[in-house]
């Protein structure tokens, strides 16, 4: 574990401080040796039980790559991602993923969507419906059990996806910009829902996002990533009191945290913007 | 409307009403088209501008239709044709789904073999009929083989396309929940491509019916196609039209059933 970069203890005190998830010197390049692009560059941090950690960075900082590595979707990478000392090399039962894209099954009703992981495990129908109903209620979709995804709004579909992942009882909830496609108000309200659920279940969560307010609203700690190659720039503690609601966005402390992280992020984001503009110009010259 | 119901229902209701009104109007237009067609037909038939045999009066067609429906030979022939088409569609669908999945799942196989399917699929299968007769004889088997071939292409091509169009994130969801290969196939891939597969089967049904009927008119001693031939040789035009109406209804009914299944699957 030598090089694990452990930040100062988070403001919330947790009795079990032994990390559930350790990201240790993780490294990933894409492409051939000569034209290799480093997506994730020796990233280290960890997540403790019950903690909500956000990874934030500009587009092109390798956050999605990191999401895929932790979710076991990318088998080959350098360094270690460990859960209980076990190195991740494929989808791990302790990790529940929520994807950025709309990912409900359109041919299944809400309850059958949510019960899907239990169905795979061969849980009897009545029991899996009971458990599915519990989580459908938790994400605030009671009464919609029999509806199909095509009858739901974008925000409701993402809540179905979240319930579907929660029903599999993951020790780590891993989410990749689950609200990216939603409008700001829906996002704030869903943030409330997430905070509620996280506090109710003491759900350890790792959220990948590019949204500053979302990260500060939800997190205990924020890992700020640099633009390509993606390194850890800083790990910030968010000591806003819990239980939290979206009202927190009006507070001075919230503003200070946002400003503080934006300070680090601005440089990276503008670097990303300049580079993509250069690429666009070069493309235009080439015709 | 009660206040509680209005909360969720208020917005959609006017649109639904408008849609219902539109559906009703469409229905009326369709009725008018049928009546206009029948009226023009009867008018032309009575006008004396054509030989009575070319545009027979509706009364004689109706009489012919009635004679057909009480004729046991008609029912026997109908049964033969439906049996051939159903067997052809089953064989063609099974082979088409299997081959389509292979081509859709494996990029190399798809690139290597799909052009053949693509370019061969619009060629009229009936030119292969003599070969099918050599292989399978003059009985039902040669018509089934030809019909199966006809439906195979539509099913295989749309299955392969459907396989490639599956939303990748849905496959990732299956993997993230660690579904077994069998679970991936039955709970992710097949349901995810149900609509293109059903569309392929619908097209395949049309192809199978056409091909089977056509083959029967070429060489056979039973089936509706055979009946069409013999009726035509007697120049019994009202019965010919009556038979056409029946084939229309059968094709329409089969299509409606598959369309209903496809809508339910959505």
CB A174 within 8 A of CB A206: yes
State the complex-level ipTM.
Answer: 0.86
What is the pLDDT at residue B173? 96
**What b/e sequence results for A217-250 when a residue is b if at least 16 CB atoms lie within 10 Å of its CB, and e otherwise?**
bbbbbbbbbbbbbbbbbebbbbebeeebebebbe
pLDDT tens for each residue of chain B, 266 residues long: 444 444 444 555 677 788 888 888 899 999 999 999 988 988 888 887 777 677 888 888 999 999 999 999 999 999 999 999 999 999 999 999 999 988 888 888 888 888 888 888 788 888 888 889 899 988 899 999 999 999 999 999 999 999 988 999 999 999 999 999 899 989 999 899 988 999 999 999 988 998 999 999 888 889 999 999 999 888 888 999 999 999 889 888 888 888 888 787 76
- Our CA-based measurement puts residue A121 at a distance from the nearest CA of chain B, in whole angstroms, of 9
In a domain, B59, yes or no: no
- Our CA-based measurement puts residue B194 at a distance from the nearest CA of chain A, in whole angstroms, of 9
CB contact under 8 A, A105 and B172: no
Question: What digits encode the pLDDT tens for the residues A203-222?
Answer: 999 999 988 888 999 999 99
Superfamily of domain A20-40+54-94+172-272: P-loop containing nucleotide triphosphate hydrolases (3.40.50.300)
What domain range is B168 assigned to? 77-265
Contacts of A168 in chain B (CB under 8 A): 177
Cβ neighbour number for residue A282 with a 10 Å cutoff: 9
What is the pLDDT at residue A270? 86
Contacts of A101 in chain B (CB under 8 A): 167, 169
What is the pLDDT at residue A176? 93
- Our CA-based measurement puts residue A72 at a distance from the nearest CA of chain B, in whole angstroms, of 8
Taking the Cβ of residue A142 and every Cβ of chain B, the question of whether any pair is shorter than 8 Å is answered with no
Contacts of B175 in chain A (CB under 8 A): 73, 91
Select the residue from A64, A74, A91 to test the B interface by mutation, using most B Cβ atoms within 10 A: A91
Strands A86-87 and A78-83: antiparallel
Mean pLDDT of the A95-106 span: 94
- Residue A91: C-alpha distances to residues A65, A103, A108, B230 (Å): 14, 17, 23, 67
A100 SS3 class: coil
Structure tokens at A65: 């790559």
Identify the band that residue A1 occupies on the pLDDT scale cut at 50, 70 and 90. Answer: very low
In a domain, B169, yes or no: yes
In a domain, B39, yes or no: no
* pLDDT surpassing 90 at residue A152: yes
In a domain, B6, yes or no: no
Average pLDDT score, chain A: 87
CB A65 within 8 A of CB A231: no
- Which residue in chain A has the smallest CA separation from B264? A107
Number of domains in chain B: 1
Report the C-alpha dihedral over residues A89, A93, A95, A98, rounded to 10 degrees. 110
B220 SS3 class: coil
- All CATH 3.40.50.300 domain ranges of chain A, comma separated, are 20-40+54-94+172-272
Ordered DSSP codes for A143-184: T-TT--GGGS-HHHHHHHHHHHHHTT--SEEEEESTTTTS-H
């Amino acid at each position: 574990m030598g090089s694990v970069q452990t930040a100062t203890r988070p403001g919330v005190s947790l009795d079990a401080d032994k990390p559930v998830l350790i990201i240790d010197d993780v490294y990933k390049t894409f492409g051939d040796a000569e034209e290799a692009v480093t997506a994730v560059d020796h990233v280290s941090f960890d997540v403790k039980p019950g903690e909500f950690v956000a990874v934030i960075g500009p587009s092109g900082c390798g956050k999605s790559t990191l999401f895929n590595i932790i979710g076991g979707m990318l088998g080959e990478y350098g360094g270690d991602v460990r859960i209980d000392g076990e190195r991740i090399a494929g989808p791990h039962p302790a990790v529940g993923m929520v994807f950025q894209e709309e990912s409900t099954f359109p041919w299944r009703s809400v309850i059958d969507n949510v019960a899907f992981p239990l169905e795979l495990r061969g849980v009897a129908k009545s029991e899996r419906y009971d458990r599915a109903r519990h989580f459908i209620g938790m994400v605030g979709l009671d009464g919609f059990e029999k509806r199909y995804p095509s009858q739901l709004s974008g925000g409701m579909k993402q809540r179905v996806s979240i319930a579907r992942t929660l029903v599999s009882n993951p020790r780590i909830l891993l989410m990749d910009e689950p609200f990216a496609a939603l409008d700001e108000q829906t996002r704030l309200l869903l943030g409330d829902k997430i905070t509620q659920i996280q506090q109710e279940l003491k759900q350890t969560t790792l959220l990948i996002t590019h949204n500053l307010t979302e990260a500060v609203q939800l997190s205990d700690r924020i890992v700020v990533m640099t633009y390509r190659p993606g390194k850890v720039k800083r790990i910030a503690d968010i000591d806003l009191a819990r239980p939290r609601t979206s009202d927190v966005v009006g507070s001075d402390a919230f503003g200070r945290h946002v400003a503080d992280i934006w300070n680090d992020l601005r440089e990276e984001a503008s670097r990303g913007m300049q580079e993509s503009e250069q690429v666009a110009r070069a493309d235009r010259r080439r015709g | 409307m009660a206040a509680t119901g209005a909360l969720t229902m208020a917005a959609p209701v006017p649109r639904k009403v408008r849609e219902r009104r539109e559906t009703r109007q469409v229905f009326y237009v369709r009725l008018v088209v049928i009546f206009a067609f029948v009226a023009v037909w009867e008018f032309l038939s009575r006008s004396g501008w054509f030989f009575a045999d070319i545009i027979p009066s509706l009364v004689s067609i109706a009489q012919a239709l009635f004679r057909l429906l009480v004729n046991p030979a008609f029912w026997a022939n109908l049964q033969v044709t439906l049996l051939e088409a159903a067997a052809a569609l089953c064989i063609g669908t099974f082979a088409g789904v299997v081959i389509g999945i292979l081509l859709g799942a494996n990029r190399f196989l798809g690139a290597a073999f799909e052009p053949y399917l693509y370019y061969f699929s619009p060629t009229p299968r009936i030119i292969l009929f003599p070969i099918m007769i050599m292989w399978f004889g003059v009985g039902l088997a040669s018509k089934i083989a030809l019909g199966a071939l006809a439906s195979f292409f539509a099913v295989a091509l749309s299955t392969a396309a459907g396989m490639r169009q599956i939303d990748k994130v849905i496959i990732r969801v299956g993997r993230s929940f660690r579904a077994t290969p069998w679970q991936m196939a039955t709970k992710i891939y097949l349901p995810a491509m149900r609509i293109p597969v059903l569309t392929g089967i619908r097209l395949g049904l049309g192809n199978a019916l056409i091909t089977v009927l056509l083959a029967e008119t070429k060489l056979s001693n039973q089936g509706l196609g055979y009946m069409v031939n013999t009726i035509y040789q007697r120049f019994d035009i009202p019965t010919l039209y009556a038979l056409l109406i029946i084939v229309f209804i059968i094709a329409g009914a089969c299509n409606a059933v598959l369309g209903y299944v496809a809508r339910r699957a959505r």
